[in-house]
Structure formats: C-alpha cells, structure tokens
Amino acid sequence: KMAGSSAPWIGSAYLFLQSTCKTIVLPSLYESSQKKPGVFKALKLALADSTGSMNGVDMLKVHCSHPHLIVQLKFCKQENCRRFLRSYREGALQKSLQNHLQLSLAMTPVPLEMELKAGSEHLDNMLKDEERCLECIYREKPDRLRDEEIMELEEHLKSLTIHQSINNNMAVKDCAPLKPPSPPYPSQDSSLLPQATFTFQGQQFDNRTITLDDHQKFAKFVSKKWKQVGRSLQRSCRALRDPVIDNLALEYDREGLYEQAYQMLLRFIQSEGKKATIARLIAALEENGLISLAEELLGLHSHEDCS
C-alpha cells in the first residue's frame, strides 16, 4: 500500500446499474447475443473515461440480476481508483455510460441509476470521504480472475467497429419510441449559437458549432495529424487530456485513421457541447499546418485540393 512497498495496491468493488425506464432492462440487453457486445463496449469506454486509461480498471465479471446489471471491478492502482471515485461522485461516469450506451446500441438516451458497493459497505453513503471509500475498496480483494466471457468480449471489442454497433438496430422499446436518437451535435438554433465571429486568412466567419458534415470531413482528410490536432484542442478541453488520445489510437487501431480521428473529435463535441465551435477547430488546424483542411471546412475550396 505504501509508495515504497513491493506489494501492489489492489482493491475491488461492485457497480450496480439499473435503467429507470421500465421498457429498457439492462440485464435483458446484456443477455441478448446481439446486444451484449454493444453493452460491454459502452461499459468499457465509460470506465476508461472515468480513469483516463483503457487499463485503469478491470471488469472481472458482469452479473445479470434483474433489474440490475452488476459489474465486478478490480483496481490495481490507488490513483486510478481515486479518479474513478471522483468521476462517479461528480456524475461524469453516469453521463459517459449513458452516452456510450446511446452510441453503441443506437438508442435514445438510457436513464440510469447507479450504486457502488465494496463488501457490505454502500459507498454512495460516504462519497465525500474519499479516503474512507479507498480504504473500503482496498480491503475487498478480488475473489476471482477475469471471467472467460469477459475475455472473449475484450477480444471481440478489438474487432468491433463503430459502424457495426450503429447498424445493430435490433428492436428495443424505449421510453420515447417516436423520438430518434439524439445526435451529439448541439442544436443549430440561432439563439443557441455563440454570438461571435472569427477571422481566418483576413475573412470573417460565423463562429458556429461543429456540424456532422464538419466532423466527417475532418475525419476523412486529417489523416495522421489527428493526434496533433487533438493535443492542440486538449489545452482547453479536459476530455482530451493526455491518456485519452493515445488510448483512442490503440482502441481504434484496426479501424484506421478515419475512425481514430472521428472518435477524437466526437469526444471534443460531447464534452464541450455548444462550446465545440468551428473557430476552436480551425485554430487547431492552423496551428498544425492543416490550412487546406481548414479552408475545406469553411467552404473556401473543393475537397480535391485537400491533402
């Protein structure tokens, strides 16, 4: 437990998840062979968001105990556990999981309730006392190795593309069946737009929010420089702090540069909301010498000139 000790810091906790919408039952989704990979992917990415690393916390087993989905977690570093607790306490983990479930399962938002337990201790009752929570988790050692099913899902996730999960539109009744899935892009209602302009190459442009068209063009043309653009954006965007960009590169390695770039900008858009403006993206492109792509996004020339 001590910094100089050779023994690693290891602890365990259980995360209880329940949908508050009667027509969405998380255990049933997880028990469906078509939906299981999407649910697992959402869990994996949300936990990675909470610790800032794909390896920050291990899932040992996912239990289906209607109406709860129970995830057994293993922490191997105190700092990762601390980050997880803060993300959980601040509601960031809940929001991230809702976003990832929506994207992975192509559903409208899934309203969630969460509980966190370590042994007989309900950590929700002591979240403000971070040291006590850490002590409870550290006291609970994992009682199992990773479940075989989890290992298979980990392998499957490596080959799972975002397009497969979006196309995975098996019928799941939702709270608002007539409402299409909400896009991550803010409304283009003029009352919500940043009331400002910015200058690029001596011309004035409206500082609008980033659109789906911008997003797709960026992913198509930015190529290998997506990481550099991400690091320029990270200075004003906590969601892109250091481990995240490298983790995206590893996670979407098989899908290629388009998907890596797309996912990086998606994190920026989801995290910044209405503040995810074209001016910020253009500034990052300029900083990294991607002038032709900036011109393309601003409609100054056809994409054939882009390199």
Number of domains in the chain: 2
304 occurs within a structural domain: no
157 occurs within a structural domain: no
Poorest-confidence range of 106-115, 159-168, 170-179?
A: 170-179
Return the pLDDT at 237.
92
Mean pLDDT of 154-161: 66
Residue 98 pLDDT more than 80?
Answer: yes
Helix (H) / strand (E) element for 239: namely none
Same domain, 100 and 205: no
The CATH number given to whatever domain includes residue 256 is: 1.10.533.10
Mean pLDDT of 251-258: 90
Give the model confidence (pLDDT) of 103-123 as tens digits.
888 888 889 999 999 999 999
- How much of the chain, in percent, has pLDDT values that exceed 90? 58
**Residue 94 forms beta bridges with which residues?**
none
Burial class (CB in 10 A: 0-12, 13-18, 19+), 66: exposed
Examine the fold and report which residue of 89, 119, 150 is the final residue of a domain before the chain moves on. 150
95 occurs within a structural domain: yes
183 occurs within a structural domain: no
171 occurs within a structural domain: no
Same domain, 17 and 114: yes
28 occurs within a structural domain: yes
Residue 43: both structure tokens together? 């869990």
Examine the fold and report which residue of 126, 150, 174 is the final residue of a domain before the chain moves on. 150
2 occurs within a structural domain: no
Domain hosting 32: range is 11-150
Examine the fold and report which residue of 150, 175, 206 is the final residue of a domain before the chain moves on. 150
Same domain, 51 and 145: yes
Residue 240: both structure tokens together? 């892109």
272 occurs within a structural domain: yes
